Amino acid sequence: MKRLVFLTGAGMSAESGISTFRDSDGLWEQYSVEEICTHEAWLAHPAKLLDFYNMLRRKYMNCKPNRGHQLIGSLEGKFDVQVITQNLDNLHEQGGSRHVLHLHGEMMKSREDGDDNGIYYPLDPKNPDIHLGDLSPNGIQLRPHIVFFGEAVPNLEAAAKIVSTADILVVVGTSLNVYPAAGLVSYAPAGIPLYVVDPKPVHSPYRRLTQIQKGASEGIAELLPLLQP
C-alpha cells in the first residue's frame, strides 16, 4: 500500500471558518503576536493569554470538518495516509483521518509550562477553559499545548521522517516558501509525485510540482482521480 502524505496549513481549514479570524471579526486585530503568542508574553501576563485561548478554543469547537477534510479521511484503506498539519484544530481527526501529526500543537490539549516533555492533557469539551491555578499532576501550571513563536517545534523531526517515506506528497493550503512546509518538502524522496492544492500560485525551490489552483475542498476533489493506489 502506497504511503500518501498530506502536509496541510491554514488554507485547509479556511472553509471551516478557522483561518478567517483576523479578517472576519477582528479577533486578532486586538492583539499583537508579541502579546499573545510568545513565551515571554505567557510569563508576563499568563491570565491574558489563557483568556485569549479560552475564547479562541470555544470558537474552534464550533467549527466542523469541510469536504476537504472528509475527502482526505475517505482515502484511508486505499492508501497509508499520513497527515502532517500546521493547524491547531482537530478537523482532520473529525474528518476520518487516523494518523495526524500536529506540528504546532493542539487547541484541545494542555501541557505543563516549561520544556515540552511530550505529556499532554486533553481538555473536557464541556468545560474546555484553562485557568490560573489549574495544575498538572506534578503541581505545575497548565498552559495551552501550542508552540509559541520562538519555541522549538518538537514534532519537526518526526514530520521529516514521515515525508522521507512518502510515495506521494500533497501540500494543501500552505506556501512552499514559508517554513516549515518548504523545509519538509526537501525530505521527500526524489521522483515521487508532488501535488500542491492552493488558490494562489505556488513554486517549489526543490522540484517540479503539479498545482491545482483551487481551495481545499474543490482542489482535493480534483486531485483524487490523479492518485494511483
CB-neighbour burial class of residue 18 (10 A; exposed 0-12, middle 13-18, buried 19+): buried
Is 92 marked active-site? Answer: no
Identify the H or E element spanning 101. Answer: strand 100-102
Beta-carbon contacts of residue 54 (< 8 Å; ≥ 6 apart): 128, 129, 130
Nearest by Cα to 76 from 96, 92, 93: 96
If one counts every other C-beta atom within 10 angstroms of the C-beta of residue 11, the result is 22
Q: Which of 69, 92, 102, 104 is catalytic?
A: 104
Helix/strand/coil percentages in the chain, nearest 5: 35, 20, 45
Active-site residue set: 104
